Amino acid sequence: MKIIIQHSSMTPIYEQLVEQIKHAIIQEELKENDALPSVRSLAKELKISALTVKKAYDALDQEGMITTVHGKGSFVCGINPSLKKEEQLKAIQEELEGIVTKARLAGMSDKELMELLELLLEGI
């Protein structure tokens, strides 16, 4: 699992961790029952506070993405297929929002954008 922390980002570090680990689980880079690095080892590797990693792991635990067994570590839970679909739809929506913003900044009307999208859909 490769995690990249952007210290210049406005997104808190623990949220960056949560999103990247969640993405790895949804994309099945991390599979059910895979062990996550210990809080201390991940903190040391990323050169961040262990409390930050703990906060991220706690958030993932609350979301049901991982489970933590005291004295043994944190492990990936099985992913619900509907959750996977929901996360994929969320990612697509965020990308589309960015595209709509760019189109409007470029002076495109909604009608022009819809026509472009229809052309792209026909070509696929």
- With CA atoms as reference, report the closest residue to 19 among 73, 50, 51, 65: 65
Q: Give the pLDDT confidence score for residue 87 in this predicted structure.
A: 78
Q: Give the pLDDT confidence score for residue 121 in this predicted structure.
A: 92
Q: Give the pLDDT confidence score for residue 18 in this predicted structure.
A: 96
Q: What is the pLDDT of residues 32-52, one digit of tens each?
A: 999 999 999 999 999 999 999
99 or 82: which carries more pLDDT confidence?
99
Beta-carbon contacts of residue 72 (< 8 Å; ≥ 6 apart): none
Q: What is the pLDDT of residues 88-122, one digit of tens each?
A: 888 899 999 999 999 999 999 999 999 999 999 99
